[in-house]
Amino acid sequence: MTGQHPFRVVFVCTGNICRSPMAEVVFRHLAHSRGMGDLVVSRSAGTGDWHVGERADSRTLAALARRGYDGSAHRARQFDLSAFRDNDLVIALDRTHERILRQWARDEDDRDRVSLLLSFDPSATVPDVPDPYYADETAFDDVLAMIESASLALFRQLEPAIRPPRTGGIS
């Protein structure tokens, strides 16, 4: 990279063991698959501290693996205020997280960084990615499909701004 800082995004859910780790892994995969892995940093966090240091839920890891992703390196962490400064976008997985993050924001700049993941997906029929924690494996697969669709839509919107300008060309 030539002096350009990577674009940084953090995905936020409740405990950082189900939805937000999925989004982190999917978004990172999108960047790497398009040759932009060095230009994007994808992270995740939870609004609560219940699972800090733990791996993602085993059903999350299984759903990711079934779709060809590797979430094994994930360790849960809690969102803290420095994440506003350290990220270009703060993506909430549902409206509860969005509301909490906006309340935690220190100023308008922090609030402006917060967006709802499904707001980027024109095919989404609901505003929130549902929490699959108390559901079965099928719910994890369904949630992952929602996250993949919305993450792709988000990535496509951001890609022109993230990709460095091409050098050379017609003079």
Catalytic: which of 88, 110, 131, 141?
131
Neighbours of 161 (CB within 10 A): 8
pLDDT of residue 161: 87
pLDDT at 2 over 90: no
pLDDT score of 169: 53
pLDDT at 1 over 50: no
- Say how many Å lie between the first and final Cα of the chain, rounded: 24
What the block records as the tokens of 74 is 């994930």
d(CA 41, CA 28): 7
- Rounded-to-integer distance, Cα 54 and Cα 81, Å: 21
CA 127 – CA 125 distance, rounded (Å):
7
Q: What band does 165 get if pLDDT is binned at 50, 70 and 90?
A: low
Q: For the chain, give the percent of residues with pLDDT over 70.
A: 94
What is the tens place of the pLDDT at every residue in 25-52? Answer: 999 999 999 999 999 999 999 999 999 9
Q: Render pLDDT for 88-143 as a digit per residue (tens, 0 to 9).
A: 999 999 999 999 999 999 999 999 999 999 999 999 999 999 999 999 999 999 99
Confidence of residue 5 (pLDDT cuts 50, 70, 90): confident
pTM for this structure?
0.93
pLDDT for position 114: 98
pLDDT for 40: 96
Angle at 147 between CA 131 and CA 74, to 5 degrees: 75
Rounded Cα distance, 57 and 139, in Å: 13
The residue among 120 and 166 whose pLDDT is bigger is 120
Taking alpha carbons only, the member of 51, 37, 38, 39 closest to residue 133 is 51
CB-count exposure of residue 79 (10 Å: 0-12, 13-18, 19+): buried
Q: What is the mean pLDDT of residues 146-152?
A: 98
Domain covering 7-161 assigned CATH 3.40.640.10 in the classification: no
18 is catalytic: no
Is the alpha carbon torsion for 9, 91, 75, 59 positive or negative?
A: negative
Question: Residue 94 in contact with residue 128, Cβ under 8 Å?
Answer: yes
Residue 136 annotated to the active site? no
Domain map (residue ranges) of the chain: 7-161
